[in-house]
Each structure stands twice: as structure tokens, then as C-alpha cells.
Structure 1
Amino acid sequence: MQPRDLSDHVAYEAGRGIEEVARELGRDPSEFIKLASNENPHGPSPAATVAIRETASDVSSYPKAAHADLTTAIASRWNVADEQVWLANGGDGAIDYLHRATLEPSDDILVPRPGFAYYGMSSRFHHGDVREYELSRADDFRQDADVVLDAYDDERVIWLTSPHNPTGSTMPLSEIERLADETDDETLVVVDEAYGEFADRESAIALIEGWDEFDARDDVAVLRTFSKAYGLAGVRLGYAVVPDEWADAYTRVNTPFAASELACRAGLAAIEDEEHVVRTVETTRESRAYMQDTIDAHVWESEGNFVLVDVGDASAVATEMQERGVIVRDCSSFGLPGCIRITCGTEDETERAVDTLNDVLADLDVDAADDPDAEVADP
């Protein structure tokens, strides 16, 4: 027998790791730095590392208490009810749960282009279809309600990414509210805030709970992760915050013990480690500013822990940077063949990345990189 027809499914393409590249090139891993996957340059929260070590002897038991404790801690962090927090195996697990709770066969979702491939992958897993709205390079990847509404056709779920990967742009809460107002009552607007800690703006949870000038809504959900600011990408821990009216759905769509004992205990420690998050955010902002000021190419403004750079020929530049020991993300897989994405690193890593990139641009004589209006294909 064969699996079902998966011809419409596109495999997720992750950033390349140091060990992988070093083996391929026959080099020592110590020669490389990796700024391709938007990981935390300071590593995991030290408190989380201790918690993982101390929890290791307890992994023979299911994580019921830890799961409940972390749910309560996150709910307290956002001042929502425990039932509004849907823990998951990474942010992608939360995407799956939201699709399980919303999609009937042949329902559509609306996703950004360029954007995170897993939105569409998950929809297709659940027999949904995928449509796209374009974030235009010509408009510096601007995000507002009109950009989405121009493509909207009563989709069941709309995905927003704010800050957006790979561009770093954000959508104001007032525009998210307007989008929710002007779409069907049965359309769920999901705001993916995987990079939310790095943006100087309030979370869209304000729209769910009716904080400040906003009215509480039942058609907005928010995604968050421990992978970025908390440095826990390897333990796979994320969550969704949903309207109160959605609370009961979680127990019907989640996998048993949706996050592991190690992940939950790490999350409990990390969420209290404010010093680590503050340090990470400060490093990110310094790195972003340095790259914006010193890269000899057009760099888009970003509120994530990365920047998008116009280099003219992403494949050639990324390959040459890799040869020189700096691994960055070729954004061709996002539909941006003229751009690379560079994760914000430590001061030393950032300086090395900038020096390497500038040398590569000069050596390859990439003229398009000097001109933000140069003709490079839109995604």
C-alpha cells in the first residue's frame, strides 16, 4: 500500500546546522558560526538548564502536574484563564490544534507570502486548502488590514505573523482589530507572535481580553513560543492563547500530555528568568541596529531577532559566506531569491557576520545589494 496523495505538500526547509555544514565541507565545526535559524545567541535560560537536569530522573512519569503548573504560570503571565492556554509541542503543535478545532474538509486558510510554510502544511494535513495574500517587497513588506482584505474570500482561518518572518515587519493592533471587524464572524484571525518579545509593542492578546481601548473578541487567537527569547528551541514548547469561548475545545483536539515533562519544567523555570529574556532582547536590539548601520546593502527594518538583507543573489552570497564560516539563511525558499536573513547574534558574531557579508559583496561585486529599488523578482 501507499500513503495518501501528498503531492500538494511542500516539505519544511530548516536552516542548516554547524555540524551538517562542517561535515559537508570537511571542516572543523569550531570554524563556523550559525546565524540561520533565529535561535537565541545566549543559549537557553540558565534556570531552565538546571530544571531540565533536575527533572531528568522523573521522565518515566507522564507530565500531568508539570503541564497544569505551566499552564497556570502562562495564564498568570497574560492575565487569562488557565483554560485559554493551549500548551503544545512547539508553536507548530499549536498551529495543528487550532486547525483541528476549526477546519472542516476543504475549508480554506489565508496565509502570508512570503511566510512560514507550516501554516499551509498543517492545513493540508487536516484536509484544508491554502490561499495566500502577498506582502509586497515594493511596499517594504507592509502589513495592514487592506493587504489581507484584498485577498480575503471568507477563509476559515487567517494567519498573521507579527513580527513577520523573514521580513521583520509588524501589524498594528488597530489594523488587526479592523481586519477582524471586516471579516466573517466564522473567520478566526490568528496572530503568530513567535518573535513577540523582540517587538516594542503590545501583544494581540489585548484584543482577546479587551485591554486598553479594545473590546474583547472571540475571533482572535495568539501564538507564542519558548523557542526564541527563552532559548528553548530544542525542547519544543509553544502555546496558543484563545478566547474564553474556545476553552473547552482543547481537551478534544490536543494530544495526551501535549508538552513533555522536560519541556514543561524548563518552561516553568524560563518564564521566571526575566534576566535572561531582558539580556536576549537587549542583544537583539543592539545587533539589529549594528547590522542596519554597517551592512553595505539594503537592510529592512525589523522587529524580530533577525534582519532581511537584499544581496542580489542569495544563493551565491549565502554559499560564499558559508565557505568563510558564517551560516545565514538563503531566503529563496521563502520566494525571495535576492535576499538573505541573518539572525541577531552576540556582539562578536554580529561583527563577524557583517564583515564577512561586506567582503563577500565586494568580492562578488553584487551591485543589486547597493540599491533597494533594484529589480529583483517579488515573491
Structure 2
Amino acid sequence: MQPRDLSDHVAYEAGRGIEEVARELDRDPSTFVKLASNENPHGPSPAATEAIRETASSVSSYPKAAHADLVAAIADRWTVEPKQVWLANGGDGAIDYLHRATLEPGESILVPTPGFAYYGMSARFHHGEISEYPLSTDDDFAQSAEDILEAYDGERIVWLTSPHNPSGSTISLSEIERLAEETTDETLVVVDEAYGEFADRESATALLEGRDGFDARDDVAVLRTFSKAYGLAGIRLGYAVVPEAWADAYTRVNTPFAASELACRAGLAAIDDDEHVDLTVETAREAREYMREAIDAHVWPSEGNFVLADVGDAAAVADAMQRRGVIVRDCSSFGLPECIRITCGTDAETNRAVDTLNEVLADLDLETDGADADAEREVPDT
């Protein structure tokens, strides 16, 4: 007995953790800084931490009340109806729910490349097909309705990532509106706003409810997560905000009690912890600006809690930085073998990352210059 054929499924490559790298290099974990997974450098919301402690003794119960309370709080945040909020086990769970609710076997989704691998993975789990639209280094990964529509061929879901991972580019609400208008009635445009708190842009939830001068739409959905700005990545808590007509599908596609009691209580506390979110966002903005100014390589503008840098040989640079105690993301798995992604850390972490990267780049330049000189000396006279 074997599982079904999974040969066309691509495994998700997560950023490497400190414990893993420290064991590999036989080093003390405390000597490392991890800036590879876009985690919150200030840790979880303190309010959420306290809520988790208080909730620990009640985890023998299913999270029915906590689930309803958190859904209501999220709905209030975005001025939607509670039934439009699909709570999930991380943003990944919300991706699965949308695919379950949308895809018939053989139907397609349209995703950005480079982009988040799980869009395609999830679609394949649900027997869907994948089409891609390119985002290019040549124009700083700019996202526009026109470019996406050139690749569009009636797919059931068009995935947008704003801010985009790994580049940090965004797409405006007017462009999202145009895309929704020019795709068919059977296409849902989903905007993944996992890094939305870090961007100086209005959420695409405005398109669902007709806020800010936009007409209300029934063909746009939005993804959000508590992993980044709220610092709850280990809790696994995310959600989708869907058109009102989609609301009833949730109970038919979600897993029972889609978020745990601990996750719901942590989310309820974190959603009102504005002080923690404000500190996190300000830290990211300062770190992005500093890295763009101080890194001795091209760094793209970003509205996420990370930056993407063109370092020539991502694998070599990431390995050299790792050996010097700074873990960053080699973006070869995104199809960008020349780029690394660096998470915005605390001031000290960001400074260390910049200094280490510049040292590595200088050393690699010296090695290259030396190799070139040796090659020239080896050329015989004619």
C-alpha cells in the first residue's frame, strides 16, 4: 500500500532554525541570530503571553466560546460580518479552506512567481492545477493588473501577495479592483496580506465592504495572520475575510475547531495590543531603511518586515553568514539564486546582519579577484 502519486508536489522549504544550524556547526545556539523566517524580533505580544498562561489550565475544553469571540473581534476590526471571517490554523489553513471551497478537480489557480510555494502545494493537494504570472527583478517586482491579466486564462482563484514575499512589493487597491472587474464572475481574487501591518496601504478588505470610495465586491477575499506583527507564529493562527455570499461554505470546508483554545485566547489578547504592533512596525520600517542604505549590494524597496538583496551567489553568501552566526534566507528556492532575504531584527540584530553581510561580500570579492589574478598568471605567453 502506497500513498497517491505525489511526484509533482514541491516540498515547502522553511527557513533554517538556530538549534538546527548550531547542532550542524557544533556551536552554542546563543551565538546565533536568526533573520531567515520573518519572525517578530520583539517576540509575542505580551498580552497574548499572559492570556496563554491564564488559559493553560482550561485546554481540556474545545474552543467554542473563544473561537466565536475572536471571530467577532476580527469582524469588528475590519467592519465585516462575523460570518465572513474564516478562522484557520495559520494563513496556510485559510489557503486550504479557500481551495476546498472553490476548486473542482483539474481547475486552476494563478499564482505569482517568485512567490509563496504553499499556494501551489495546497491547490495540488485539492487536485487543482497551477498557472503562474511573473514578477520581475527588472521593474522591482512591480505588481499590476495589466501584467497579471496577460497571464490570466479563466483561473478560479488569482492569488496576490501584498506585501509580496520575498520582494516586499505591493499592489494598490485600484489595481486589485481592476483585476476583479476584468476577470470572470467565476474567479475569486485573493489578496494575501500576511505582512499587511507593515505596509503603508489600506487593506483590501475595503473592497469587500465598499469603503474608501470603492464599490462593494463579492469576488475578492483577504488573508491575514497573527504570525508576523503580533508575534504568534508558533501558535499558528490566521484567517480569511470572504465575501458575504461565501460565509456558509466555512462550516463545510473547515476542520472542527480550526484554531485551538490557546490560539484563540492569544489572538483575542493580541488583537488589541496596539503598543506591541506599533513597536514592531516601527522597528521594521527603521530596519528596512537602514539595510537599504548600509548594505553594499542592491536592496529592493520593501513594505514587509524583510528586505531582498542581490548578492550574486545566494548560497555562498548565506552559508558564509551562517558560519559567522547570522542566519538569513537563501532565496534559491524562490527561483532567485542570486538573492538573500533578511528579516528586520532589533537594532542590534540588524546592525550585526549588515556588518556581517558586508564583510562576507568583501571577502568574496577578494577571493574572486585573487582567482582572476591566478588565472591571468597561468595564461602562457604566446
| TM-score bucket of the superposed structures, by smaller chain | over 0.9
* 1-structure distance, mates of 2:45, 2:166: 25
Counterpart in 2 of 1:263? 263
Aligned to 1:301: 301
Q: Distance in 2 between matches of 1:108 and 1:367?
A: 47
Aligned partner of 2:250 in structure 1 is 250
Deviation string for 1:80-103 (max 9, x for gaps)? Answer: 100000000000000000001100
**Residue 136 of structure 1 corresponds to which residue in structure 2?**
136
Which SS does the other structure have where 2:234 is aligned?
helix
Structure 1 residue 147: Cα displacement: 1.5
Question: Residue 367 of structure 1: CA displacement?
Answer: 11
Residue in 1 aligned with 2:291?
291
* 2:6 aligned residue: 6
Listed as ranges, the gaps of 5+ residues in structure 2 are 369-382
Q: Could you tell me how far apart the structure 2 residues matched to 1:88 and 1:195 are?
A: 17
Determine the structure 1 residue equivalent to 2:347: 347
1:282 aligns with 2:282: yes
Whether the 8 Å contact between 1:287 and 1:344 is mirrored in structure 2 is yes
Whichever of the two has the greater Rg, that structure is 2
Match of 2:372 in 1: none
SS state at 1:150 partner = helix
1:193 maps to amino acid: E
Cα deviation digits, residues 158-190 of structure 1 (max 9, x gap): 000000000000001100000011101100000
Alignment of 1:65-80 (within 5 A): 65-80=65-80
Aligned to 2:117: 117
Aligned to 1:377: none
- Aligned-pair distance for 1:314? 0.1
Contact kept in structure 2, 1:235 and 1:263, CA below 8 Å: yes
CA shift digits 1:104-156 (9 cap, x unpaired): 00000000000000000000000000010000111111100011111000000
1:82-93 pair list within 5 angstroms:
82-93=82-93
Residues 49-64 of structure 1 aligned to structure 2 (within 5 Å) = 49-64=49-64
State the alpha-carbon separation in 2 of the partners of residues 145 and 73 from structure 1: 32
Q: Say which SS state the counterpart of residue 309 (structure 2) adopts.
A: strand
Structure 1: how far apart are the matches of 2:167 and 2:308?
A: 6
Question: What SS is found at the alignment partner of 1:239?
Answer: strand
Q: Using the alignment, how far apart are the partners of 1:16 and 1:56 within structure 2?
A: 29
Query: What is the TM-score when the length of structure 1 is the normalising length?
Result: 0.96
- The one-letter amino acid paired with 1:308 is L
Name the counterpart of 2:209.
209
CA distance in 2 between partners of 1:277 and 1:103 (Å) = 35
The count of residues paired between Structure 1 and Structure 2 equals 368
Change (3 A) 1:255 1:74: same
The alpha-carbon distance between structure 1 residues 109 and 296, as it changes in their structure 2 partners (threshold 3 A), is: same
AA aligned opposite 1:236: R
- The answer to whether the 8 A contact 1:312-1:366 is kept is no
What is residue 161 of structure 1 aligned with on the other side? Answer: 161
* Percent of aligned pairs sharing the same letter: 82
Cα deviation 1:15-36 (Å, max 9, x = unaligned): 0000000000000001100000
Q: Cα distance, 1:366 vs. partner?
A: 8.3
Task: Specify the SS of the correspondent of 2:197.
Answer: helix
Q: C-alpha separation between the residues in 1 aligned to 2:97 and 2:239?
A: 10
Residue 316 (structure 1) aligns with: 316
Asked if the contact 1:311/1:366 (under 8 Å) is kept, the reply is no
SS at match of 1:224: strand
Structure 1 position 212, deviation (Å): 1.5
| Paired letter, 2:59 | V
**Distance (whole Å) between structure 2 residues aligned to residue 170 and residue 366 of structure 1:** 37
The root-mean-square deviation of aligned C-alpha atoms, in Å, is 1.0
- Give 1:184's aligned residue: 184
CA displacement, residues 228-280 of structure 1 (integer Å, 9 cap, x when unaligned): 00000000000000011111111111111000000000000000100000000
1:130 counterpart letter in structure 2: I
Give the alignment of 1:323-334 within 5 angstroms. 323-334=323-334
Q: Which residue of 2 aligns with 1:126?
A: 126
State the AA in 2 paired with 1:334. Answer: F
Report whether the alignment pairs 1:29 with 2:29: yes
